[in-house]
C-alpha cells in the first residue's frame, strides 16, 4: 500500500468531459487539483464505449465545450452527430491543448472515500491500496458509466463470446460468418443493430420493450455551417443555456390542442424530415398531456409500419406500453429498415418468452437461435451506480449507501447532506441526463469552482448541504416529474432497469434554464441551503484555510 501524503485542495474522480473541465477550471482558480481516473486515457463514457455505430445524438457543435474560445475555434467537427472516435479525439485534443494530463492519475479506480470530520479532510483509497487526501472531492463519475449486467437464466453457461456494449473490446470484433445476437433495443442497440446486421452471417435481436426511434439524418457539416458557429458561438451557447433541455431545438410553443389538425400533421412531418429528436419538440405538452402524447406516438408507429415490410414484424416493433418520451427516444439510421433483411430475426419477448441462454444459443418458448457472439446492450446502472460503487462515508457515521438506500437524495444534485466538502457533477436531482450533458457539466463545474473560491476568500473550510433544504429540493424534483407522464414508464430514469434498485425518478425535469437560475440564486444568497462551517480545533492545527467566523 502506498500513501500519497500531499494534501490536495481538490480531488476530482473521473476524467470525462466534467472531470477535465473541473481540473482546468479549478487549476486556473489556483487550487491544487488531482484527477483520478480508472481508465487508461481521458474520455469517460467516450473512452469505455466503442461499439460499432456509437454516436452522440446531440449536434456535435453543441456537444462540446463552450468555455474556451480556442477550443471552439481550433476544432472542426466533421458531422452533425459525431462518431465516438471523433468525440474521443476531441476530448484528447482538449486535454492536450489545456495541458491537463500532468495532473491526471490514470488506471486508478477509487474504492472508498472517507471524510475525517475532525481533520476536515477526505481520504480516498484506490483499489490496490494507494491513498490520496484532499479538502474537497468532486465526483465527476458520470451518470452513465456503470454497466447494467442483467440476470438472465443460463447467461453464465454461454460458451461463445460475450460482450457488454459498455465494455467493448479495444480491438474490433470480427463478426463475419458469425451468428450474432443482441439483447436490448435502447439507444445502444438501435445504433449498433444496423451495422451488426451488415457484418454478421445472421443477427438475432432480443427485444423486451420496443423503443420509439427517430431517424438521425446525419450529415457532414459544410464550411458555412462551421463558420457560422465560430462567428456566433458565444451567443448560441448562451441561448442554449436558456432553454429547457440545454439544446438548440426548435421548441414548439403551443399545446397540440391549440393547433389545427392538418397543421399538426404537417409540422410533425416537417420535423421528421429534419431528423434527430426534432419531432418530439413540436408541441409544448408532449410530456404532460396524454392526447398530445398519443398523437405523436401514433405518428411514429405509422412510420414503423411504412418502413417494415412484414406487418407482423412491424407490429412487434411498435411501442404501446408507455408514452413517447418517458423512456429516452432513440436516434438511429436505418434501424427499422434493418428488419427487412433476410439475415435478421426478432425475438419479441412479450410474445415469445425466453426460456434460457444455452452454451450455443438462445432458447425461447418457440424455438432455438444459434449464437456465436452474444452482445448485451442492456444499458447502465444509471445516475447512482458509479457513486454507490465507491464506499463513501464520514468518520461521523454517515454512509452514502445507507443514506441512498431508498433512492438518491441531494441538494440541487450538487451536494449531499451528511457529506461535507463533496460535490457531484450532473448528479441525481439535477437536469443531468435530461439535458445536453456537456452544457450541464460545464455549469456544475463553474458553480462548484465559484463556491470553492467563495469559501477560500472567507476562510471557511467546510460546506455541506442542509438536510431541510435537501428535502425541500427533493420534494420539488419529485413534483416536477409527477406533473408529467414520466413516471408511467419502467425507465432507467427511475432505476427500473436494474433489479432491486429503488424506484425513484432521478433527474430534475423542471428545465435547465429554471435549474441554473435556482443555482445562481442560491450562490448569490451566500450558498443558501448549505451549512458553511468554521474550522474545528483539529482543522486549525493542520489546515491552511482558517475560518474567521462560523
368 beta partners? 363
Give the interface segment with ligand N01, choosing from 71-79, 184-192, 222-230, 243-251 (CB under 6 A): 184-192
Cell numbers found for residue 275: 431528423
Name the residue nearer to ligand N01 (CB basis): 10 or 287.
Answer: 287
Count of residues engaged in binding ligand N01, rule: CB under 6 A: 26
Name the residue nearer to ligand N01 (CB basis): 460 or 492.
Answer: 492
Q: Is 326 in the site for ligand N01 (CB under 6 A)?
A: no
Give the interface segment with ligand N01, choosing from 70-78, 295-303, 372-380, 446-454 (CB under 6 A): 372-380
At residue 392, φ and ψ (nearest 5 deg) are: -100, 125
Q: Is 56 in the site for ligand N01 (CB under 6 A)?
A: yes
DSSP 299-326: HHHHHHHHH-SSHHHHHHH---SS-TTS
Q: Is 375 in the site for ligand N01 (CB under 6 A)?
A: no
Q: Which of 183, 211, 220, 218 is nearest to 333 (CA)?
A: 218
Cell numbers found for residue 293: 402524447
Angle of the 437-458 helix axis to the 512-524 helix axis, nearest 10: 0
Q: Is 168 in the site for ligand N01 (CB under 6 A)?
A: no
Pick from 8, 17, 42, 57 the residue near ligand N01 by CB under 6 A.
Answer: 57
Pick from 19, 319, 379, 533 the residue near ligand N01 by CB under 6 A.
Answer: 379
Please identify which residue in the block is written with the cell numbers 460468418. Answer: 177
Name the residue nearer to ligand N01 (CB basis): 295 or 357.
Answer: 357
Pick from 328, 494, 501, 545 the residue near ligand N01 by CB under 6 A.
Answer: 328
> Exposed, middle or buried: residue 172 (CB in 10 Å: 0-12, 13-18, 19+)?
exposed
Q: Is 217 in the site for ligand N01 (CB under 6 A)?
A: no
Q: Is 152 in the site for ligand N01 (CB under 6 A)?
A: yes
Q: How far apart are CA 399 and CA 450, in angstroms?
A: 27
Pick from 66, 87, 124, 144 the residue near ligand N01 by CB under 6 A.
Answer: 144
Q: What is the pairing mode between strands 179-183 and 202-207?
A: parallel
Site for ligand N01 in 262-321 (CB under 6 A): none
Opening angle at CA 136, ends 134 and 142, nearest 5:
110
Pick from 214, 259, 416, 433 the residue near ligand N01 by CB under 6 A.
Answer: 433
Q: How far apart are CA 53 and CA 197, in angstroms?
A: 12
Q: Is 188 in the site for ligand N01 (CB under 6 A)?
A: yes
Site for ligand N01 in 82-141 (CB under 6 A): none
Residue nearest to ligand N01 (CB): 186
Q: Is 192 in the site for ligand N01 (CB under 6 A)?
A: no
Question: Contact 196/176 with Cβ under 8 angstroms?
Answer: no
Q: How far apart are CA 81 and CA 279, in angstroms?
A: 17
> Exposed, middle or buried: residue 106 (CB in 10 Å: 0-12, 13-18, 19+)?
middle
Name the residue nearer to ligand N01 (CB basis): 183 or 304.
Answer: 183
Name the residue nearer to ligand N01 (CB basis): 388 or 490.
Answer: 490
Pick from 12, 38, 377, 463 the residue near ligand N01 by CB under 6 A.
Answer: 377
Give the interface segment with ligand N01, choosing from 35-43, 64-72, 182-190, 440-448 (CB under 6 A): 182-190
CA distances from 291 to 62, 255, 257, 261, 476 (A): 32, 10, 9, 13, 26
Q: Residue numbers of the site for ligand N01 (CB under 6 A)? A: 55-57, 144, 150, 152, 183-189, 191, 206, 208-209, 328, 331, 377-380, 433, 492, 497
Amino acid at each position: 500500500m502506498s500513501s500519497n501524503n500531499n494534501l490536495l485542495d481538490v480531488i476530482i474522480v473521473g476524467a470525462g468531459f466534467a472531470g477535465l473541465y473541473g481540473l482546468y477550471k479549478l487549476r486556473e482558480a489556483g487550487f491544487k487539483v488531482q484527477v483520478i481516473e480508472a481508465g487508461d486515457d481521458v474520455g469517460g463514457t467516450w473512452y469505455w464505449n466503442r461499439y460499432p455505430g456509437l454516436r452522440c445524438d446531440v449536434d456535435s457543435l453543441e456537444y462540446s465545450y463552450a468555455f474556451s474560445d480556442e477550443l471552439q475555434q481550433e476544432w472542426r467537427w466533421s458531422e452533425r452527430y459525431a462518431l465516438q472516435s471523433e468525440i474521443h479525439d476531441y476530448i484528447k485534443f482538449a486535454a492536450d491543448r489545456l495541458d491537463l494530463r500532468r495532473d491526471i492519475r490514470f488506471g486508478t479506480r477509487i474504492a472508498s472515500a472517507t471524510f475525517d470530520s475532525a481533520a476536515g479532510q477526505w481520504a480516498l483509497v484506490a483499489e490496490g491500496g494507494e491513498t490520496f487526501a484532499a479538502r474537497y472531492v468532486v465526483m465527476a463519475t458520470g451518470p452513465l458509466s456503470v454497466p447494467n449486467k442483467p440476470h438472465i437464466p443460463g447467461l453464465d453457461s454461454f460458451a461463445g463470446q460475450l460482450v457488454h456494449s459498455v465494455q467493448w473490446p479495444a480491438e474490433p470484433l470480427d463478426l463475419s460468418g458469425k451468428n450474432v445476437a443482441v439483447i436490448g433495443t435502447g439507444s445502444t442497440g438501435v445504433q449498433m443493430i444496423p451495422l451488426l446486421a451488415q457484418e454478421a452471417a445472421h443477427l438475432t435481436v432480443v427485444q423486451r420493450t420496443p423503443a420509439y426511434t427517430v431517424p438521425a439524418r446525419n450529415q457532414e457539416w459544410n464550411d458555412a455551417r462551421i463558420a457560422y458557429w465560430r462567428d456566433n458561438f458565444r451567443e448560441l451557447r448562451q441561448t442554449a443555456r436558456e432553454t429547457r433541455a440545454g439544446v438548440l431545438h426548435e421548441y414548439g410553443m403551443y399545446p397540440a390542442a391549440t393547433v389545427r389538425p392538418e397543421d399538426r400533421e404537417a409540422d410533425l412531418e416537417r420535423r421528421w424530415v429534419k431528423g434527430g429528436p426534432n419531432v418530439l419538440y413540436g408541441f409544448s405538452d408532449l410530456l404532460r398531456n396524454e392526447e398530445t402524447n398519443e398523437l405523436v406516438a401514433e405518428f411514429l408507429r405509422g412510420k414503423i409500419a411504412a418502413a417494415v415490410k412484414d406487418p407482423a414484424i412491424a407490429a412487434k416493433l411498435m411501442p404501446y406500453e408507455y408514452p413517447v418520451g418517458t423512456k429516452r427516444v432513440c436516434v438511429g439510421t436505418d434501424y427499422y429498415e434493418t428488419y427487412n433483411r433476410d439475415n435478421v430475426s426478432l425475438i419479441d419477448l412479450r410474445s415469445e418468452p425466453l426460456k434460457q441462454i444455452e452454451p450455443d444459443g438462445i432458447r425461447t418458448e418457440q424455438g432455438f437461435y444459434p449464437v456465436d457472439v452474444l452482445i448485451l446492450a442492456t444499458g447502465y446502472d444509471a445516475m447512482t451506480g458509479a457513486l454507490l460503487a465507491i464506499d463513501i462515508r464520514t468518520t461521523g457515521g454517515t454512509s452514502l449507501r445507507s443514506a441512498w438506500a431508498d433512492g438518491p437524495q441531494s441538494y440541487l444534485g450538487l451536494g449531499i447532506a451528511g457529506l461535507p466538502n463533496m460535490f457531484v457533477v450532473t448528479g441525481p436531482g439535477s437536469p443531468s441526463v435530461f439535458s445536453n450533458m456537456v452544457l450541464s457539466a460545464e455549469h456544475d463545474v463553474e458553480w462548484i469552482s465559484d463556491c470553492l473560491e467563495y469559501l477560500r476568500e472567507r476562510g471557511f473550510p467546510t460546506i455541506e448541504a442542509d438536510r431541510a433544504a435537501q428535502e425541500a429540493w427533493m420534494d420539488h424534483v419529485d413534483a416536477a416529474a409527477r406533473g408529467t407522464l414520466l413516471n408511467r414508464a419502467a425507465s432507467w430514469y427511475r432505476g427500473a432497469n436494474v433489479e432491486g434498485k429503488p424506484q425513484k425518478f432521478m433527474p430534475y425535469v423542471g428545465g435547465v434554464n429554471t435549474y441554473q437560475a435556482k443555482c445562481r440564486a442560491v450562490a448569490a444568497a451566500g450558498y443558501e441551503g448549505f451549512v458553511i462551517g468554521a474550522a474545528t480545533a483539529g482543522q486549525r492545527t493542520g489546515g491552511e484555510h482558517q475560518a474567521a467566523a462560523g
